[in-house]
Structure 1
Amino acid sequence: MLDLFIADDHQLFREGLVSLIQSQSDFHVIGQADNGETALDMIKTHTPDVAILDISMPCIDGIRICEMVQQKQIKTKIVMVTMDDDVRTAKRALQAGSHGYLLKDDAFSELIHAVKEVSEHKTFISQKVASQLALSSSEPQSPLTHREKQIVQLIAEGLTNKEIAKKLFISVKTVDTHRFRAMKKLNIHHVVDLVKYAFSHGLVEK
C-alpha cells in the first residue's frame, strides 16, 4: 500500500486526482492541501511515499518544497503536476529532486503509471516535455551549478544579497561566495554583465 499526498490550489482538479487515486486498491490518500506551506508541513509530519504537487501554489511553490524535502533528507518522492511545459521549468524541477514531471493535460490518463514508476525509484516525465528535454540535451551546458544559477537569477530580478539569503535559507556570506564563483566561471567582472547573462541565457524571462 502506497501512502500519497496531493497539493494543488485548484480544488476541482485536486479532488479529481484524489478520486482517481482512491479508485486504486493499492493507493491510500493520507491528505491534501491547497497551498505550499501546508503541503510542506504535511510531508514533514507524515512522510508519504509519494507527494503529488502543483508547481505554482500560494506560500511556497512546488519546486521550493522539493528542494527543502531534499535538504532535510525526507524519503518522500515527488511528482510535479503542472500546466507548465517549458523545458527550463522541467529542468529546474528535476534538478531540485523531483522524480516526476507530469503535465495536467496528461494527469488523468498517466498519473497512476507515474506514481508507480517513481515509487520504484524511476523517473517519469510527460512525453511532450521528455521530447523537449532530449532536444535540449545537445545544447552546450552551463558551467554554473544549480545554486549559482539560482543566485544569478535572483540578482537579475533585483534582489539584494540579504533578500536572496532569506529566500534561499542560506547566509549572506554563502550568497557572496556563490556570486563570486559564478562571476569567475563566466569571466564577468561587473554585476550589470551578470544580469545581461541571466537574461540572454534564459534564467530570467525577458
Structure 2
Amino acid sequence: MNIEKKQLLLISNNAKFVTEIKEGLSLHFEINVVNGIHSGYHTALGLLPDIILLDHPSLDSKSFKNLANFKSTHFLNKCWLIMYAEESSRRTVEKSYSGITDEIFYSSTEPSLLAGKIIKRVYSNFSLTNYWKDSFMGLFNLLANPVVLLEQDNIIQMNDAFKQTFKVESTDGIKLTDFVKCENKAKVKESLRNFARGKHMKAVTRTVLRLKNDKVRNAKISFSKLDKMINGQYIMMIHFSEEVELVTENIGTNSSIVENCFEDNARIADFSFTKREKEIIQLLCKGYKTKEISETLFISPKTIEKHRANIIKRTNSETILESIIYAISHNLIDLQVA
C-alpha cells in the first residue's frame, strides 16, 4: 500500500546533522529545513508539520526565548515538538525546555536511532491530521455555512446547511460539478483530482455556483484536506458573503490549481452583453417574436437567431429563457427599459 508521507520541519544550522536526519527519515517524511527558530515558526504555520525537530546545539541560544510560541499557537499546538541537545547540557535543557517541548533527546542517542524513534512515534499513536479531521467531523452539522466532504468530485457527506441551500437530501450520485456553472466541467474535475493527489493542503477562491432553483450565486469557497494519509478526501466550505475570510491565508500550503480553475468559472459570469444583445433580450422580455424583433431593430431574422445562439452560449444556458433569467438575476439588463 502506498502510504503518503508525513511532514517534518527540521530547524538546524548543522549540515552534517541535517544530512543524517534526511538519510534516516526521507522515506517516511517530507522534510523541510530552516536554520532559525524565527523562520521555523513562520514555516510551520504554512506547513502544519506532524513533527518539529529542533537541533539545540546549532541554534542561537537567544532565539529560544520565542520557543513557547510554537505550543501556544492554536494551529501548531498538536505538532510534536522535539529537541535534540548535547548530553553535557542535559540539566540546563531539562530545566529550561521540558515544559514547552514534547520530548527531548540527547547526543547519547545517535541520529540514526533518533530517526527510528521519530518514525515509531508518528506512526504508532500520533497523527496531527487525524486530530484535525476528528475535530472537524464532530462539528460538521453545527456549522452555519454549507459544507461537504468530497472524494475528488464526489460528494460523500454534506451538512444540514448545504442540504437546505442546494435543496438536496441524499448524496447518492451527487457530484460537485452538478453545482458548478462552468462551460468546461472536465477542467474542474481534473483540477480537483490534481489537488487531491498533490501536496497542498488548501485552496481559497471565488466562483459561481448553481443552486437547485436555477439561480446562480457568487461564492467564496475553500478546499482543505483533513488527512494527508487518506488520498482524495477533503472538505469544501461555501460562504456567500465576500467580506468574510474563511481561511487565514497564512495557514496551510496553498494550491493554485483549484484556485485558477474556479476563478475561470467565475469569470464566465463576469461580462456584460453587447448593446445589440441587450436590445434583443429587452424585446424578448416584452414577448416579441423573432419577426417582430427583426422589424423593430431593422435586422434580418437570421442575424437575430445568431445573436440568440450567442446569448445562450455565453450564459452557459440551454434555452433563451434560461439566458433571460440569468441576465435578470445578475442585473445585466435594465428592466425599466425592457
TM-score (normalised: structure 2): 0.31
More helix as a share of residues: 1
More strand as a share of residues: 2
Task: Please say which structure displays the higher CA radius of gyration.
Answer: 2
